[in-house]
Amino acid sequence: MAWLETLVNGALLGGLYGLLGIGLALVFGVMRVVNIAHGEFMVLAAYFAVMLVSLFPHVHPLFVLLPVVLAAFAVGYLYQAAIVNRVVRAPDPLAPLLLTFGVSIVLRNLMVEVFGADVRALPLGELSRASINLFGLRIGVMPLLTLVASVLLFLLLQWGLKRTRFGRVVRATADRRDIVRLFGIKPDRVYNIVMGLSLALGAIGGVLLAVRSSFTPFSGVERLLIAFEVVVLGGLGSFWGALLGGIVLGMAQLAGLKWDPNAGLLYGHLLFFVMLLIRPAGLAANRA
């Protein structure tokens, strides 16, 4: 029973991991750029949330999510407009990789200098301890809410990309950035919005993860690696694959931690590597 509880909790955590991955996957899918600084932006959002909570102690911590997400969108828009757009068109595919890596180093060390290297957390009071009893399993309310929120966001994003005009524009830009210009669309502006959305999703993930466990300026690395593993496990470019990948990764991590309490992310990483060997196309891929 204890193991079942671990697996269920792992699946709940996995919903959150899926959310980390989807932001990374969105940017990669649209502009073929892996934003190495994604993890650092998540941690930055968490610091912003902690700051807001201490500034407005009477507001419920979950309400700070709104300003944090809006700020993350703005930061993403500017980041893309000022920096990433300059290398997206570079013939060398390494340029965006090196550039975003450089940005991640700058952000990480700025956070160390500004916020200090201490461990921080986002306390939620009652809610973070509350749990419900489901068929004899103790399930935390907050992890459950997190999973529900992740699934809703996945649905919303998928609907937005499939059914709205903006979604069509994004997909068209992803396919042929040179052709969409003929229809009066500026690809750079589409990219700005996509990066904004990506960091907004990352901010939700970053804040919710900060509620679950403490963080430091160095947490960006593990957040990025989780996001990346989720995307590869799920199969590149597959939305629901990312959620599935997140759930598998979450289960592996919590099961590993139960067996070996100071393992950290080791078992998640190992699972990723084994999967890379036996199913390089990802979990969700049914074609060879």
Q: Identify the residue among 59, 130, 134, 276 touching another protein (CB under 8 A).
A: 276
The CA distance from 95 to 79, in Å, is 16
> Using an 8 Å Cβ cutoff, are 243 and 154 in contact?
yes
Residue type, position 258, single letter: K
Check binding of 110 to another protein (CB under 8 A): yes
Which residue type sits at 87? V
* Residues 19 and 153: beta-carbon distance below 8 Å: yes
- 16, 19, 22, 34: residue in contact with another protein (rule CB under 8 A): 34
State yes or no: residue 279 binds another protein (CB under 8 A).
Answer: no
Nearer to another protein among residue 105 and residue 155 (C-beta): 105
User: How many residues in the shown chain lie near another protein by CB under 8 A?
Assistant: 44
Smallest gap from Cβ 26 to another protein, in A, equals: 15
How many whole angstroms separate alpha carbon 120 and alpha carbon 139? 24
Which tokens sit at 95?
């340029």
- Residue 264: CB minimum distance to another protein, A: 6
d(CA 220, CA 87): 23
d(CA 26, CA 32): 9
**286 with 244: CB under 8 angstroms?**
no
- Using CB under 8 A, which of 221, 237, 258, 285 touches another protein? 221
Burial of 232 (0-12, 13-18, 19+ CB in 10 A): buried
Q: Which is nearer to another protein, 32 or 163 (CB)?
A: 32
Residues 114-143: x/- map of binding to another protein (CB under 8 A)?
A: ------------------------------
Cα–Cα distance measured from residue 50 to residue 61, given in angstroms and rounded to the nearest whole number: 9
Task: Report, in Å, the least distance between residue 62 CB and another protein.
Answer: 32
Tell me how many degrees the CA angle 231-20-125 measures, rounded to the nearest 5: 150
Candidates 67, 123, 160, 280: give the one binding another protein (CB under 8 A): 280
Contact positions with another protein (CB under 8 A) in 56-95: 83, 86-87, 90, 92-95
* Site membership for another protein, residue 215 (CB under 8 A): no
Tokens of 239: 């939305």
Among 46, 228, 238, 257, which residue sits at the site for another protein (rule: CB under 8 A)?
Answer: 228
Pick the binder of another protein from 101, 131, 151, 216 (CB under 8 A). Answer: 101
Which residues of the chain form contacts with another protein (CB under 8 A)?
Answer: 28, 34, 36, 83, 86-87, 90, 92-95, 97-99, 101-103, 105-106, 108-110, 112-113, 221, 224-225, 228-229, 232, 236, 260, 262-266, 269-270, 272-273, 276-277, 280
